[in-house]
C-alpha cells in the first residue's frame, strides 16, 4: 500500500511518537509510507528508517498555511498514488477530509486524547470514514459527544518498541555523568511536555523535592514546553532537581531511574524498561492519580491508556508517601518484571500496526466495491 500519514508536527510528544513507530512498522512491512507535518525533532528518525517526510505548515490556523497544506497534500496523493490517508489531529483531519473527498481517496483518523466539545468543533472536526481511538474511554467520548457511529470507531493502542525500551545497566553510569547526576542517590524521573496545561505533575515534584532530598533522592524532569523556564525558576534553589529539556534518547535516560512518575506513553516506556511506575496525570487533561501501578490496577489503567482519567486528584502528600514506599521496598524486581510483561502483552508495535492495517483494508475495500 501507499500510505500517507498527516499530523501537525513531529516534535517530541506521545502522539508524535505513536506516528513515528507506526510509520516505521508500516515501512518494515513493505508499504510505501509518507509523513506530512510541520517538521520537528523526530523527523530524522523517520528518514533514517526509510520513511519520506514532506513539510507542510500544519501547526497553525492561518488561511494561507491551510491553503498551502491543502495543496501539498493534494500533490502528494496524486504523485505518490496514495491508497489511504491517515490523519492524527484536528487541523490535519479537517484539511485531509476536504482533499480526500474531492480526490475520492479513502480517509481515516486516529484520536489520541479527549477532545474539547463546542458547536464549532463539532462542525469543523472531520473523523474520516473510520476512526481509531487509543483507549476505551476516548472511544466512548467521541461516540457520545460527537455522535459518531459505534461501528465506525475502533480501539487501538500506543505501541511500544520493547527492543528499544529495555533495561540496560551498561549505560546507566554514562547517562548519570552526562546528566550531571549523583550515582549514590536514588532517582525519581518524570517525562512529559511541559506546557502550562501539562506541567502540574512536574511542579508538584519540584515542590516536594526538598523532602525527597532528605531521602537521599534526586528528581529528573525531562521535557520541553512553554512552561519550562517558569518551572526552572521554581527549581532554582533546589539542587536535587535536574531539568534536561526535550530529548530524543528517552530509552537511554530511563536507565538512571528508580521510580517513574507520570502517565500515558511515557509510563509505558518506563514499564518496558522495568521501572516501578507511579501513575499521576495533569488536571487540565482531566487526569488524576492512581498511585503505584500493580497487577490489581491493570483493568482500570487499560481503560484509559494509563492516563488516570476520571480518577482522584493528585495530592502532593500522597505522591510523596508513594515515592517513599517505593524507595523503601527491599525488592522491586517482581513489580519491574510484571510491568514489562504488561507492555509486551497489551502494547506491542505489531498490535498497533495490525489495527491500522485492518482499518486501511476496510476503507479501501469499501471504495472498490
Q: What is the DSSP string of 141-179?
A: HHHHHH---GGGEEE----B-TTTSS--GGGHHHHHHHH
Instruction: Report CA Rg, the chain.
Output: 21
Between vectors from CA 75 to CA 72 and to CA 76, what angle results, nearest 5°?
Answer: 90
Query: Does residue 308 share a domain with residue 276?
Result: yes
Structural domain that includes position 264: 169-346
Predicted local confidence at residue 118, as pLDDT? 85
Distance in angstroms (rounded) separating the CA atoms of residues 318 and 52: 46
Signed CA dihedral, 254, 156, 13, 140: sign only: negative
State the total domains in the chain.
Answer: 2
Residue at 213 is within a domain: yes
Residue at 301 is within a domain: yes
Q: C-alpha grid cell for residue 103?
A: 480526490
Query: Does residue 116 share a domain with residue 233?
Result: no
Query: Does residue 326 share a domain with residue 215?
Result: yes
Q: Which residues of the chain have pLDDT under 70?
A: 368-369
| Three-state secondary structure call for residue 3 | strand
Predicted local confidence at residue 369, as pLDDT? 53
Query: Does residue 317 share a domain with residue 307?
Result: yes
Assign residue 287 the CATH number of its domain: 3.40.50.2000
Distance in angstroms (rounded) separating the CA atoms of residues 212 and 220: 12
| Three-state secondary structure call for residue 323 | helix
Query: Does residue 154 share a domain with residue 95?
Result: yes
Per-residue CA distances from 100 to 148, 197, 358, 367 (Å): 19, 33, 19, 12
Q: What is the pLDDT of residues 107-133, one digit of tens each?
A: 999 999 888 888 888 888 999 999 999
Residue at 9 is within a domain: yes
Are 221 and 243 in contact by the 8 Å Cβ rule? The answer is yes
Query: Does residue 196 share a domain with residue 341?
Result: yes
Q: C-alpha grid cell for residue 180?
A: 550531571
Q: What is the pLDDT of residues 33-73, one digit of tens each?
A: 999 999 999 999 999 999 999 999 998 889 999 999 999 99
Helix (DSSP H) and strand (DSSP E) numbers for the chain: 15, 13
Query: Does residue 196 share a domain with residue 151?
Result: no
Amino acid at each position: 500500500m501507499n500510505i500517507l500519514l498527516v499530523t501537525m508536527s513531529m516534535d517530541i510528544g506521545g502522539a508524535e511518537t505513536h506516528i513515528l513507530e507506526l510509520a516505521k512498522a508500516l515501512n518494515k512491512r513493505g508499504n510505501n509510507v509518507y509523513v506530512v507535518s510541520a517538521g520537528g525533532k523526530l523527523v530524522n528518525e523517520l528518514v533514517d528508517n526509510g520513511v519520506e517526510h514532506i513539510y507542510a505548515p500544519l501547526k497553525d490556523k492561518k488561511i494561507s498555511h491551510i491553503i498551502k497544506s491543502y495543496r501539498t497534500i493534494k500533490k502528494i496523493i496524486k504523485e505518490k498514488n496514495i491508497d489511504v490517508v491517515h490523519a492524527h489531529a484536528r487541523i490535519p483531519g479537517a484539511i485531509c477530509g476536504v482533499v480526500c473527498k474531492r480526490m475520492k481517496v479513502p480517509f481515516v483518523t486516529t484520536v489520541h486524547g479527549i477532545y474539547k466539545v463546542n458547536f464549532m468543533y463539532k462542525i469543523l472536526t472531520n473523523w474520516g470514514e473510520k476512526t481509531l481511538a487509543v483507549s476505551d474511554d476516548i472511544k466512548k467520548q467521541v461516540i457520545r459527544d460527537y455522535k459518531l457511529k459505534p461501528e465506525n470507531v475502533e480501539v487501538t493502542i500506543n505501541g511500544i518498541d520493547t527492543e528499544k525500551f529495555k533495561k540496560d545497566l551498561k549505560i546507566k553510569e554514562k547517562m548519570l555523568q552526562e546528566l550531571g547526576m549523583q550515582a549514590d542517590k536514588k532517582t525519581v524521573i518524570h517525562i512529559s511536555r511541559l506546557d502550562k496545561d501539562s506541567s502540574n505533575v512536574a511542579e508538584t515534584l519540584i515542590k516536594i523535592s526538598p523532602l525527597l532530598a532528605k531521602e537521599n533522592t534526586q528528581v529528573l524532569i525531562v521535557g520541553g514546553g512553554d512552561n519550562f523556564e517558569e518551572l526552572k525558576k521554581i527549581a532554582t534553589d533546589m539542587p536535587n532537581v535536574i531539568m534536561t529539556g526535550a530529548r530524543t534518547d528517552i530509552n537511554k535516560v530511563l536507565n538512571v531511574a528508580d521510580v517513574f512518575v507520570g502517565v500515558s506513553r511515557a509510563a509505558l516506556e518506563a514499564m518496558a524498561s522495568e521501572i516501578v511506575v507511579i501513575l499521576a496525570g495533569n488536571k487540565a487533561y482531566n487526569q488524576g492519580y492512581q498511585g503505584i501501578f500493580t497487577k490489581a490496577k491493570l483493568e482500570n489503567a487499560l481503560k484509559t491508556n494509563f492516563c488516570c482519567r476520571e480518577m482522584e486528584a493528585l495530592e502532593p502528600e500522597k505522591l510523596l508517601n508513594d515515592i517513599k514506599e517505593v524507595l523503601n521496598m527491599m525488592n522491586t524486581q517482581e513489580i519491574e518484571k510484571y510491568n514489562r510483561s504488561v507492555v509486551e502483552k497489551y502494547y506491542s508495535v505489531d498490535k498497533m500496526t495490525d489495527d491500522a492495517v485492518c482499518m486501511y483494508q476496510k476503507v479501501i475495500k469499501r471504495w472498490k466495491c
